[in-house]
Structure 1
Amino acid sequence: MVWTLLFAFMSFYWAAGGMMGVKSLGGQIYQMAMDRDPEFIPVVWATGVVKLGGLLLLFCLMRSGNPRTKLSRWLAYSSMSAGILMILYGVGNFITISLAAIHVLDFDLEPYAIRSRLLFWEPFWIVGGIFYVLAGYGKNST
């Protein structure tokens, strides 16, 4: 839940105009944030709200009581599915950005953003995905 709150907070911070860490995203996202693109800012707010949806899922999973009920199993499988998607997203981005780093793919990412994405952002997604899988698995196996 802490990981999810931190992740949502980043989106809300950037949507509200905070710029710390934005350069690490690189490319088009960085440029739209710098320009305070009026079409992009609502997307960043919405991203934060969606991330809070993960917090709601985890809270419901934690409070769902007997792990043998349909609701509890559905919440556990939803958590594991969300985690798997986050892991796949992080791994997929890690692979494509790595390929861009060795000039196999041509992305509009400066070296700072490539390093940040490979050393922080993509592992952050993967770790978060692992947390969600473990939360669902833990609830489902009890």
Structure 2
Amino acid sequence: MKKNYWMITFGMVWTVVFAAMSFYWAMGGLIGARSLGGSIYEMALNPPRSFVIILWLTGIIKLFGLLLLSLLLLQWRKPIISSVLFYVTKIVGIILFFYGFLNFTTITLSQFHILDFDLELYAVLWRLLFWEPFWMIGGIFYFFSVKNSVEIRLSA
């Protein structure tokens, strides 16, 4: 498996920033919360305990991406480990990209009144110009962190 160290580095920085946002909001920070819009913003203003717990857990889950990318930096003796890391990284990249892409698409459709979302224009602009592209960029970093396919040798 070939590794793209630039993409791994960008992915790690992206992941830390992404997790830090969740931790910041979990601690009561409000910068950027309005840009999410809808019920998320409303909950951020007066967060119930369950919302704060979800934010902390979300930040921790996001840090698993940092662990995944860090594992790519190691040389593994067993090819199966490299193979699993290759496919997991590719799948995570695809999921991140398409999550952002699908949100971008649905928010855009809501602006043409095809779908109905409860988002003010401020949040719509932030979601279309920052948040959803941010997800997609993260997906690109993960997906291109590893190149080529891996060979699985089952012999000892």
Matches within 5 A, 1:115-130: 115-130=125-140
1:91 match = 101
Q: Which ranges of structure 2 fall in alignment gaps of 5 or more residues?
A: 1-11, 152-156
| Separation in structure 1 between the aligned mates of residue 95 and residue 43 of structure 2, nearest angstrom | 26
Instruction: Name which of 67, 70, 75 aligns with 2:80.
Output: 70
CA contact (8 A) 1:61 1:139 kept: no
Gaps of 5+ in 1: none
- CA RMSD after TM alignment: 1.8
Q: After TM superposition, give the deviation of residue 68 of structure 1 in Å.
A: 7.4
Tell me, yes or no, if the aligned pair for 1:12 and 1:44 is still in contact at 8 Å.
yes
Partner residue, 1:54: 65
TM-score calculated relative to the size of structure 2: 0.85
* RCO higher in structure (CA 8 A, sep ≥6): 2
CA contact (8 A) 1:5 1:55 kept: yes
Q: Whose Rg is larger?
A: 2
1:102: which partner in 2? Answer: 112
- Per-residue CA distance 1:87-120 (angstroms, 9 max, x = gap): 1101100000001112211111000000000000
Quote the residue 1:136 is aligned against.
146
In structure 2, relative to structure 1, the CA distance for the partners of 1:43 and 1:138 (3 Å cut) is farther
- Measured after TM superposition, the shift of residue 67 of structure 1 is 8.7
Return the alpha-carbon distance in structure 2 between the equivalents of residues 44 and 22 of structure 1: 12
Show the counterpart of 2:122.
112
Question: Where is the helix percentage greater, Structure 1 or Structure 2?
Answer: 1
Q: State the Cα distance separating 1:139 from its structure 2 match.
A: 8.5
Superposition deviation, residue 72 in structure 1: 1.1
* Superposed CA offset, 1:22-71 (max 9, x none): 000000111111111221110011000000000000001112x1597110
Aligned residues between the structures? 140
Helix, strand or coil: the match of 2:29? coil
